[in-house]
Chains A and B, each alone.
Chain A
Amino acid sequence: MVFYVPPHPLLCLIADLLQLLANLQAAKPPPIPIENILDMKKYLPIIYNDSNTLVIQLIWREAQLHALWHEAKQSNDPPTTRYDLQVLLKTALDLDLEYEAWESMLPPIWGYRVQPNTPEVRSTYDVKWQKLLLESKGAPGEIYIHPSLKKSWIWGFCRTSRMFLLRDTLEILNWMFRLPEPSHSSSHSPVESMRGSANSDADTNSFTTSFLDTDSLRRQYTLSTAHLVDVIEKACCAIFGNFIVPVKGRSFEDMMGMRGYVCVWPLGTMDSILSSGLVPDAGASALHSEPRYDQSKTLPMTPDTSQAAQSPPQSFYHDTSMVRSSMYDLYETVTDFMPVPFRLLPRTALTYHKYPKPALRMSQ
């Protein structure tokens, strides 16, 4: 006789989240509709409480946007006018505002301690951390200590996914700068037509040529760059805390693997962005600030790293071995995860279409 034991809803939720992050990393659309994740609220009411945040939904929406942007620029029929990209840009800017709103709406329990990274403060921590993290070249100027590893992890999800969003925004703007500036004699409200049966919220999202002129785009570029620099700085300030924050029922040195695991996605994403050429470089002629696209650079071969090089981290969040080996730890870490009030439900399914040429000609 065979008994079927349905998987615990929490396991399903964790699997969905890992797949969502994997898809974001790979620029693939979210694996399942956000409504399906929200539906799990009835099975996991403790997790889906109001004290949690909107992170999962923000990540879901950024995964969708990220996939669409990559689809657009990889298309055989890529954007050739600024109108082609305006919906993606507006969506990105709106989503960034919602990331800011998420942070501003957090209750005090989500707060964290901020310390200056000074010799006096550093001396209060273990010498190993001082040398490895706090006083070394390139260390951030502040130290953020979150109240728990799970809070720190969720903050990491939020900041890292926002880095994806801001990178997308800057890339979209860089495309638009290369495309002809729209005529000031016309205005367009193409959003509604692009969204088809979009609901009434879309009616308010009309564009004018002034939104797409070069001066406006330049201002937005400066703002988005500033936001990206700020988010990267904050994410770096929070890394140290992952190694020392308490974990309920565990010793100080316990769960070091999980502590490192939590850091890898933010660290890898930041290194990717810093090597992209999108962030202003304060270093004059730093040794490693040369463009990374020089494929002729030689890579050192060391025996203990060859295996890592054969396993690209794009599949990092597909690797569930950590989850299987320490499910209890993961449970402890994500128990407060998963927000999702419905306020930020996507207004409509976002799709990428080039701005329809006939409509453009008509409006001109």
Chain B
Amino acid sequence: MTPKSVRTSSSPPPAFDSTAKKGHVFDSSPWHPYNLPIDADVPDPGIKGPRSIDIGARREWLNSLLYYIGADLGIKKALAIPYMEGYMPIVKPRVDEILGR
């Protein structure tokens, strides 16, 4: 995830769009294009590379728990994440089956 080749620019950074929609309900503000790396995975020979995470699987796990907390433990706002992120069709039937519903 370390930038391979840095492409600097003399042009000013893109203006922040305060009206842009937030990417995730737990983001503090709308996304800015400079937030992300320029290039994808390139190992830095000088440093042991970071581990990685199976993001799809881990997000499914996180959203399963959020659904459980929202649906079973009464913290309704926890449901906003699987709902907004599109995980409800996956996690709801799975958790409901585990809980015998």
Q: Flag if B81 contacts A280 (CB, 8 Å).
A: no
Which A residues touch B68, using CB under 8 A? 132, 260
User: Chain A 231-244, CB within 8 Å of chain B: the 1/0 string?
Assistant: 01100100100000
Which of B38, B46, B58 has the largest count of A CB atoms less than 10 A from its CB?
A: B58
Q: Work out how many contacts link A and B, with CB atoms closer than 8 A.
A: 284
A70 partner, pick from B29, B80, B87, B88, beta carbons under 8 A: B29
Q: Apart from A283-B56, A308-B83, what are 20 other A-B pairs with CB-CB below 8 Å?
A: A174-B35, A175-B34, A181-B6, A221-B3, A222-B50, A236-B62, A264-B69, A270-B58, A271-B59, A272-B27, A274-B53, A277-B37, A280-B1, A281-B53, A288-B55, A300-B88, A302-B92, A305-B79, A309-B83, A314-B25
Given A171-B35, A239-B65, A260-B69, also A218-B44 (CB < 8 A): yes
User: Chain A 308-326, CB within 8 Å of chain B: the 1/0 string?
Assistant: 1101111010010010000
Which A residues touch B56, using CB under 8 A? 138, 281, 283, 286-289
Q: Flag if A229 contacts B52 (CB, 8 Å).
A: yes
Compute how far the CA of A233 lies from the CA of B99 in the bound complex, rounded to whole angstroms. 26
Which A residues touch B32, using CB under 8 A? 73-74
**Hey, which bits of chain A sit against chain B, CB under 8 A?**
25-27, 66, 70, 73-76, 78-80, 128, 131-133, 136-139, 171, 174-175, 177-181, 214, 218-219, 221-223, 225-226, 228-230, 232-233, 236, 239, 256-257, 259-261, 263-264, 267-272, 274-283, 286-289, 292-293, 295, 297-300, 302, 304-305, 307-309, 311-314, 316, 319, 322
Which A residues touch B69, using CB under 8 A? 260-261, 263-264, 267
Q: Flag if B59 contacts A288 (CB, 8 Å).
A: yes
Interface SS of chain B: helix, strand, loop or mixed? Answer: loop
Q: Flag if A275 contacts B85 (CB, 8 Å).
A: yes
Residues 11-50 of B at the A interface (beta carbon under 8 Å): 12-13, 15-16, 18, 21, 23-29, 31-32, 34-38, 41, 44, 46-50
Q: Flag if B57 contacts A312 (CB, 8 Å).
A: no
Q: What would 12 A/B residue contacts be, using CB atoms closer than 8 Å? A: A128-B98, A178-B8, A222-B50, A270-B58, A277-B36, A280-B52, A281-B55, A299-B83, A300-B83, A300-B89, A309-B79, A311-B77
Q: Which 7 A-B pairs rank lowest in CB-CB distance, beginning with the nearest?
A: A286-B56, A138-B61, A260-B73, A138-B57, A280-B52, A308-B79, A226-B50
Q: Flag if A180 contacts B54 (CB, 8 Å).
A: no
Which A residues touch B38, using CB under 8 A? 174, 177-178
Closest to B56 in A: A286
Closest to B28 in A: A27
Chain A nearest CB from B78 CB (Å) reads 5
Which B residues touch A270, using CB under 8 A? 58, 62
Which A residues touch B60, using CB under 8 A? 136-138, 287-288
A257 partner, pick from B36, B47, B74, B90, beta carbons under 8 A: B74
Q: Flag if B65 contacts A263 (CB, 8 Å).
A: yes
Chain B nearest CB from A153 CB (Å) reads 14
Compute how far the CA of A304 lies from the CA of B72 in the bound complex, rounded to whole angstroms. 12
Given A132-B68, A271-B62, also A280-B53 (CB < 8 A): yes
Which A residues touch B79, using CB under 8 A? 304-305, 308-309
Chain B nearest CB from A289 CB (Å) reads 4
Chain B nearest CB from A183 CB (Å) reads 13
Compute how far the CA of A226 lies from the CA of B52 in the bound complex, rounded to whole angstroms. 8
Compute how far the CA of A259 lies from the CA of B61 in the bound complex, rounded to whole angstroms. 17
Closest to B31 in A: A293
Compute how far the CA of A279 lies from the CA of B36 in the bound complex, rounded to whole angstroms. 10
Q: Flag if B34 contacts A221 (CB, 8 Å).
A: no
Q: Flag if B31 contacts A313 (CB, 8 Å).
A: no
B28 partner, pick from A26, A214, A230, A277, beta carbons under 8 A: A26
